[in-house]
Amino acid sequence: MFTRRHLIKAAGAGLALTGSGLELGSARAAGAAIDLPVSYRPPNYETPIEYFRTAITPNDAFFVRYHLSNIPEVDVKTWKIVVGGEGANGQAEFTLDDLKRLPAAELVAVNLCSGNRRGLFQPHVPGVQWSNGAMGCARWKGARLKDLLDKVGLKKEAIEIVFDGADSGVTDKTPDFIKSIPTWKAIEDTTLVAYEMNGAPLPHLNGFPARLIVPGWTGVYWMKHVTSISAVTRPESGFWMNTAYRIPLGRFPVVARFTSQETAVNTPITEIVVNSLITNPADGANVKMGPVAMGGIAWDGGYGINTVEVSSDGGKTWLAATLGEDLGRFAFRTFSYNFAPKAPGKQTVMARATNKIGQSQTTELIHNPAGYHHNVVHSVTFNVA
């Protein structure tokens, strides 16, 4: 079985971690087992499901997602973020120490790949074939993005804030990974330029020395190794905005829309849809006859989880599960339920989450060409003996 230790060792000098706070015997290199390395170049690794039995995902087990294969050598002594653009009144540069001198903000938030569960789509759709583990939840600490933007001043015409990171493609023909968010989202108090993850410096493969945190929105906007932040007065038109990461207009119950990027037929993916995952017992497990302690997590785009319900009769009846600690509206919410099987044999149990604005998981897959937003009610089947 491959581990993240193997990933680091295999990369050798190509993943020099100069000044990153990541030594080869610690942090990301500590060797959390990866059940399904989805790809090696670029590195895309899922979090094993057992790490979702608590609300916080450890740094060593946190999923990894890259679009481009050249992962940069990061030297914190020379790294900086340049903030400006034609939608700003000026330009400024921020080192890591500069970020840390700004007022610090901290929150717990889910980082979830837009294509989480894509590999479970039927019929099959192309793309990285993620199962349930292209996500994680961490406590992020950093500077508010709006505080950086305040240093340069935004013009009233600025409609989007554009981000670039230090990673790059193998050839010049590969489009640089550049993303934007609407200005209204950029200046929310919860949008951060983070330099800590679960109380430690960001691991290299999760964006050291700083990454964007856009709580409630899918991970494609969470730019890693961010080097450039630009205010613009016209919509960003590069490949990663104009072509990629788009969903059919009106297909999903999206509240937070990115109107400057919409067309007559599609819109950029934005907020995370309400969802849940049963983590215990595992699918296919053998359990003893008697009460079965079930558990899992639920999450959404930041409206907050209201209820999680469990069904053992194919969805005919639903009973409320007990919600765990509330770590904030953007965090995983754990749930538990004591299931009492009536007889030995195979049992199938389902979980359904509903958020505080009334959105619930769907019972039928909402098909879309890129395989985004898979939030069908989750079920596990296990044997009681």
What is the tens place of the pLDDT at every residue in 281-317?
999 999 999 999 999 999 999 999 999 999 999 999 9
Domains of the chain (ranges plus CATH)?
59-268 (3.90.420.10), 275-384 (2.60.40.650)
Long-range contacts of 45-51 (CB under 8 A, 24+ apart): 45/4, 45/7, 46/130, 46/131, 46/132, 46/133, 46/134, 47/133, 47/134, 47/135, 47/136, 48/133, 49/132, 49/133, 49/277, 49/279, 49/282, 50/279, 51/136
Separation of alpha carbons 149 and 158, rounded Å: 11
Q: What is the pLDDT of residue 6?
A: 43
- Helix (H) / strand (E) containing 181: strand 178-182
9 Cβ contact partners less than 8 Å away, ≥ 6 residues apart: 24
Prediction pTM value: 0.91
Q: Name the pLDDT band for 348 (thresholds 50, 70, 90).
A: very high
* Dist. CA 142–CA 194, nearest whole Å: 4
How do residues 161-186 score in pLDDT, each as one tens digit? 999 999 999 888 899 999 999 999 99
> Which one, of 266, 170, 171, 165, lies nearest residue 221 by Cα?
165
User: Who contacts 147 (Cβ-Cβ below 8 Å, separation ≥6)?
Assistant: 102, 103
pLDDT digits (tens, 9 = 90+) for 195-232: 999 999 999 999 999 999 999 999 999 999 999 999 99
Q: Cβ distance 348 to 277 under 8 Å?
A: no
What are the residues facing 230 on neighbouring strands?
Answer: 84, 162
Over residues 239-246, mean pLDDT: 97
- Radius of gyration of the chain from its Cα atoms, rounded to whole angstroms: 21
pLDDT at 18 over 50: no
* Secondary structure of residue 149 in the 3-state scheme: helix
Residue 124 DSSP class: -
